[in-house]
């Protein structure tokens, strides 16, 4: 089976391809000659995921899926959530985002957080949603070099290493994206 993953994020594409290896062939936007920036203006993870998938379906006609992921921190009332990738501003980078979060949580005892991924699938003119979540906490300093985004400061529940210290193989087995993707794969293999 082949399906398009509507993302311009090479890290997410690589992660999903590793998770679905030998099960489903994941086509990138480049594989379908889409080089446009896909709008992402929703106020929820579900809205953004569906918006991205719908853009590809409408413009190219392919069955496809898209995801949106947010880091939700209890002490920040669930922020940055849907705005995780631009937490420190529109032209920020992951370092800027982590530094802002560490500043805002300085001295905070409640550092509980969770990563949440929502995948929207458009298949045979039907919408389907799959969600994955992993709890953890934001540590006080960056540790590790693997992964991307907030991985160096996110310590998943039950582990003594951050996502960035666990390495991609281990992270890809336990992450929020892995949980949502496994639900997607199970659904696709049944349909």
Left, alpha or beta for 148 (phi > 0: left; psi -120 to 50: alpha)? beta
Handedness of CA 93, 91, 136, 130 (dihedral sign): negative
Question: 69 - beta bridge partners?
Answer: 117
Contact 46, 75 (CB under 8 A): no
93 contact partners, CB below 8 Å, separation of at least 6: none
The CA distance from 71 to 74, in Å, is 10
Contact 142, 85 (CB under 8 A): no
Contact 105, 80 (CB under 8 A): no
Residue 148 pLDDT level (bands cut at 50, 70, 90): confident
The CA distance from 156 to 31, in Å, is 34
- Cα–chain center distance at 44: 13
| pLDDT number for residue 43 | 95
**Region 112-133 average pLDDT:** 97
The CA distance from 176 to 117, in Å, is 6
The model's pTM: 0.90
**Region 54-74 average pLDDT:** 95
> Is 90 exceeded by the pLDDT of residue 1?
no
| pLDDT number for residue 123 | 95
Q: Which residues are catalytic?
A: 68
Answer with the residue of higher pLDDT: 156 or 37: 156
């Amino acid at each position: 089976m082949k399906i398009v993953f509507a993302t311009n994020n090479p890290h997410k594409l690589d992660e999903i391809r590793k998770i679905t290896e030998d099960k489903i062939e994941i086509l990138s936007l480049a594989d379908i000659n889409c080089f446009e920036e896909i709008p992402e203006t929703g106020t929820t993870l579900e809205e953004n995921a569906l918006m991205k998938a719908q853009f590809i379906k409408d413009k190219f006609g392919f069955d496809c899926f898209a995801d949106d992921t947010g880091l939700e921190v209890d002490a920040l009332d669930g922020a940055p959530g849907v705005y995780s990738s631009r937490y420190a501003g529109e032209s920020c980078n992951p370092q800027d985002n982590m530094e802002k979060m560490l500043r805002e949580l300085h001295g905070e005892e409640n550092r509980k957080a969770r990563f949440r991924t929502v995948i929207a699938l458009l298949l045979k003119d039907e919408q389907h949603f799959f969600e994955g979540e992993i709890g953890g906490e934001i540590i006080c300093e960056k540790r590790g070099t693997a992964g991307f985004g907030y991985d160096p400061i996110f310590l998943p529940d039950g582990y003594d290493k951050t996502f960035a210290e666990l390495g991609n193989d281990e992270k890809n087995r336990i992450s929020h994206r892995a949980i949502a993707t496994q639900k997607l794969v199970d659904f696709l293999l049944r349909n």
